[in-house]
Each structure stands twice: as structure tokens, then as C-alpha cells.
Amino acid sequence: MAAGFLRVNDKASSALAGTLQSAAKDTYDLSLVLYWGNWGSWWFVPECHRLAQRCRNRYRTFNLGLAYWSDGAWSAGIYWLHQEIDYAAGDLVLGANITDEFDAYRLMGQYDLGPGIAVTGAIGLDTFDDGVVNQTYDTQMIGTGISIGF
């Protein structure tokens, strides 16, 4: 089990020429990784607060995954990520609180070809619910790769 805290101070340009605004971010992390036999799972919850001194927006992210490593050359895993972004009234739409949501689903696999060489692949689906226009966008993905370690 792991926990953490991160504070980031960014500088961003404001609407006035030549001025900078501080954009402090606080991030709190909690994660748990469990292994039993050839199985493993993880749970990760970061949460960001206060994107700027006077901003009330909140980000929430949750990750959940499950993986299996065979005694042979292959492994496989599934993964889910959910993120919500709450915008305070007036930040995007005057007088309205808005929530955007994002979900990512992945099925991943790996096969070891030999010492230090593995091929990987993933298929996935992403969905984004836009709170401003009240519309959902879907994206599908396929990815492949090769890992070479020496």
C-alpha cells in the first residue's frame, strides 16, 4: 500500500499582457497493489484539489486493474480508468455547474519472444461525456509494440 502528496506551483499567462498567475495544484494519492500466485491487481485513487487560488474545480480519478502472468511466456491484463472533472458555476457556462466524465477500458497482452524481447498489444475503448454540450464521444484503439531490454 502506498500514499502520497504532491504540490505543484505552475505559472500561467493571464489575460493581461506580461503578467503571470500562480496555479497551485494539490494532489493526494492512495494506491494498493495485491499479488497472489500468478495474479496481481491494483487500485489507484489520485484526487486533485484547488487548481488555482480562487478556483473551485475538482478532479477525481480512479484506476482499477487485474493482471495474470503465466509460468510460460505470456501475460494478460484488463484495466479501467474513470475521471470526473467538476467545474464550478460560471467557469465554463454562466450560472451552471458542469461535470465532464472520461472512461478508458483496456485489454492488454504480452508475449516474451526470448531474453529481453517481448511483443505487446492492447485494444481499448474510451468514452468522454461532455457536460457542456451534453454529448458522449467514443474512441476505439488498437496498439502494438515491441520491448527490447539489455
pLDDT digits (tens, 9 = 90+) for 59-101: 777 888 999 989 899 999 999 988 887 776 666 666 677 888 9
How sure is the predictor about 20, in pLDDT bands with cuts at 50, 70 and 90? very low
- Check residue 138 and give its pLDDT: 94
What band does 27 get if pLDDT is binned at 50, 70 and 90? Answer: low
98, 92 in Cβ contact below 8 A?
A: yes
Average pLDDT of span 120-142? 91
pLDDT at 55: 45
Distance CA 86, CA 97 (A): 7
HSE value, Cβ hemisphere, 13 Å, CA-based, for 149: 8
Residue 1 or residue 113, greater confidence = 113
* Cβ 66 vs Cβ 33: under 8 Å: no
What pLDDT score does 68 carry?
92
What distance in Å separates the CA atoms of residue 75 and residue 67, rounded to the nearest whole number?
7
Distance, CA of 21 to CA of 6 (rounded, Å):
20
Give bridge partners of residue 137 from the DSSP assignment.
Answer: 128
DSSP notation for 87-126: EPTTTSBTTB-EEEEEEEEEEEEEEEEETTEEEEEEEEEE
Cell matching residue 149: 531490454
